[in-house]
Amino acid sequence: MAQKQFSGVTVDVNDEGYFTNSSQWTIDIAKAIAIEEGIQLSDKHIDVLSFIRKSVAGGAALTIRSMGKSGIVDVKEFYGLFPGAPLKKATKIAGVPKPTSCI
């Protein structure tokens, strides 16, 4: 198991940098990961990350489509908040495993 340090805290991650123990996540760690991903977190980002964490904790399978139906963001806004690979970036920043729908 690999480890990585964010904001002075060491967390367990897999080879791709996704958390293997989501209980180690904090908002300060999220901000540090976001900076690595080239994103400055806003309140809207935090709302999306909270939705992702609650969904994954509840056993939901995340997809771009489910994010668009979240009531938090539409698909276009989701891509704007997390450009490039929005679901991969958002889940990494949220401290949850990479969705199986992501390659």
Residues with catalytic annotation?
A: 102
DSSP reduced 3-state for 76: helix
Residue type, 53: R
Residue type, 55: S
Burial category of 57 from C-beta neighbours within 10 Å (exposed 0-12, middle 13-18, buried 19 and up): exposed
